[in-house]
Amino acid sequence: MKFISWNIDSINAAVEHKSIRGEMTWQTLNEIATIRPDVFAIQETKLKATGLTKKQAATISELFPEYYLYLNSSTARSGYSGTLVLSKAEPKSVSYPAIGAPGDMDAEGRIITLEFPEFFLSTVYTPNSGSSLARLDERGEWDDKYRSYIQTLDTNKPVIFSGDMNVAHQEIDLKNPKTNRHSAGFTDQEREKFSALLEAGFTDTFRALNPNTPSVYTWWAQISKTSKINNSGWRIDYYLVSDRIAKHVQNSCVIDTGARQDHAPILLDINI
């Protein structure tokens, strides 16, 4: 089965594609449609609390005909955060869990979980700690609650989960580790929480297949005009699986988006 996960940074920007960057996002979305993944998980939809507009819904339906669509939009702040999942097969059940996260995080549309006969498929948009680390403590609480939630799923059946997890786990996972030790996404706390998630029984599929491969990233800062040109990026988007099914992973990779900065989609190929 093929799964794709992508922080799209605004569905509307892709659908309208009126800017150069919007056009690149639109092209990437079309490329994903040609792959026809079994499940396509999207983070940071930035939709209104009311969900997709008629135009957005029609466009997605045209690109992904006969897919089941599940949407979790932020009700705490319209046009912020949000997740969406498209699936070829109809799942047994779908949930939009509240995990007891601090503040408004549970109302920001951050998780969707699909249950299939043999596994759970979940996607997450992990809260960012903020440029001044203002939400670092809340982020740590989120990490603990999220880990507990995934562990609970795992006691029932294996879990395949993906998303923008807003952390580069090891120094190999970003271009400039020394100068980012106190930056959101590379603090000791965030990295330790990600280690705890792996130690709870889960595998980082890309790193398991490529233990020593450097310079593979999933995000390049838009604020820097040369971040993509110089490949000055971070690997903060992941496909993780329960350890007991990790041996079935055939491929875990980043989809090339050319000159487009921000997040790139990631692909998981697994026999399950």
3-state secondary structure 180-210: HCCCCCCCHHHHHHHHHHHHCCEEEHHHHHC
Give the C-alpha distances (Å, rounded to integers) separating 242 from 158, 161, 272: 5, 9, 12
122 Cα distance to chain centroid: 10
Between CA 201 and CA 244 the distance in angstroms is: 8
- Residue 174 contacts residue 186 (beta carbons within 8 Å): yes
Structure tokens at 256: 């090339």
Q: What is the model's pTM?
A: 0.97
Task: Give the total number of structural domains in the chain.
Answer: 1
pLDDT in tens, 132-149: 999 999 999 999 999 999
Structural domain boundaries enclosing 48: 2-270
Q: Tell whether the model's pLDDT for residue 131 goes beyond 90.
A: no
- The binding site consists of 7, 44, 164, 166, 262-263
Active site residues: 125, 164, 263
As annotated, the binding site for Mg(2+) includes 7, 44, 164, 166, 262-263
Amino acid at 178: K
Q: What confidence score (pLDDT) does residue 92 get?
A: 98
The number of C-alpha atoms within 13 Å of 53 and in the hemisphere containing its C-beta is 12
Q: Write the CATH number for 46.
A: 3.60.10.10
Q: Is the pLDDT of residue 84 over 90?
A: yes
pLDDT digits (tens, 9 = 90+) for 20-33: 999 999 999 999 99
